[in-house]
């Protein structure tokens, strides 16, 4: 009797939901601390570490459920799937935050960025700044597909690294 292999989709969905929930909790924490306008290196590093930790746990759980065996393709399927599910949840929270919870989010973010922009480019006029802000508002929707693509790429890279570390082939006999 042949043993049934666990489905990568189940692990991707379950751990993707976990990643999404943790990401939303992290986002709410940033919101309550009024740090949600900032995208400094430490926030990005913490976000990537959260993703890497959850994806490592997901791939390792799949390996355990699969009798201790793991192929790189299974690791990639679990990691990328979980990263995409987590990204969808996280981006849904971002959409709700910027359109319903704090509808003037973009305007406040631009006001915070304004002094730094004028410091970096002292020749910029107020009119040029206003034109740049209006252009950015028109392309604000692009953050959602870009976020999904970036999470997929990070999931791919993390899945590859974890897969190479945890890889164990089934014996051929």
Model pLDDT for residues 16-75, shown as the tens digit of each residue: 999 999 999 999 999 999 998 888 899 999 999 999 999 999 999 999 999 999 999 999
Phi, psi of 167 (to 5 degrees): -55, 135
pTM: 0.91
Full residue range of the structural domain in which residue 162 is found: 8-104+143-166
Q: Residue 83: is its pLDDT beyond 80?
A: yes
Torsion of CA 57, 58, 60, 64, to 10 degrees: 130
In-domain check, residue 1:
no
> What mean pLDDT, rounded, does the chain reach?
93
Establish if 95 belongs to a structural domain.
yes
Using the predicted structure, report yes or no on whether residue 1 has a pLDDT greater than 70.
no
Domain membership of residue 12 (yes or no) is yes
Domains held by the chain: number? 1
Alpha helix stretches (DSSP H) within 97-141: 105-120, 126-138
* Domain presence at residue 79: yes
Say what the pLDDT of residue 5 is.
84
User: Is 125 part of a structural domain of the chain?
Assistant: no
Domain assignment of residue 62, yes or no: yes
How confident is the model over 91-110, as pLDDT tens digits? 999 999 999 999 998 888 88
Identify whether 161 is part of a domain.
Answer: yes
User: Among candidates 77, 34, 45, which has minimal Cα distance to 59?
Assistant: 77
In a domain, 44, yes or no: yes
């Amino acid at each position: 009797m042949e043993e049934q292999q666990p489905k990568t989709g189940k692990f991707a969905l379950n751990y993707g939901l976990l990643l999404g929930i943790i990401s939303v909790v992290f986002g709410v924490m940033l919101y309550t601390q009024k740090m949600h306008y900032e995208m400094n290196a430490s926030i990005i590093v913490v976000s990537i570490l959260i993703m890497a930790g959850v994806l490592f746990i997901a791939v390792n759980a799949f390996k355990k459920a699969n009798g201790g065996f793991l192929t790189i393709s299974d690791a990639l399927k679990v990691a990328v799937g979980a990263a995409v599910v987590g990204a969808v949840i996280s981006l849904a929270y971002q959409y709700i935050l910027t359109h319903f919870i704090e509808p003037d989010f973009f305007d406040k973010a631009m006001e915070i960025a304004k002094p730094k922009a004028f410091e970096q480019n002292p020749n910029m006029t107020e009119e040029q700044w206003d034109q740049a802000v209006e252009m950015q508002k028109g392309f604000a929707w692009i953050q959602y597909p870009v976020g999904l693509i970036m999470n997929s790429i990070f999931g791919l890279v993390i899945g590859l690294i974890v897969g190479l570390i945890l890889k164990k082939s089934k014996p051929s006999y």
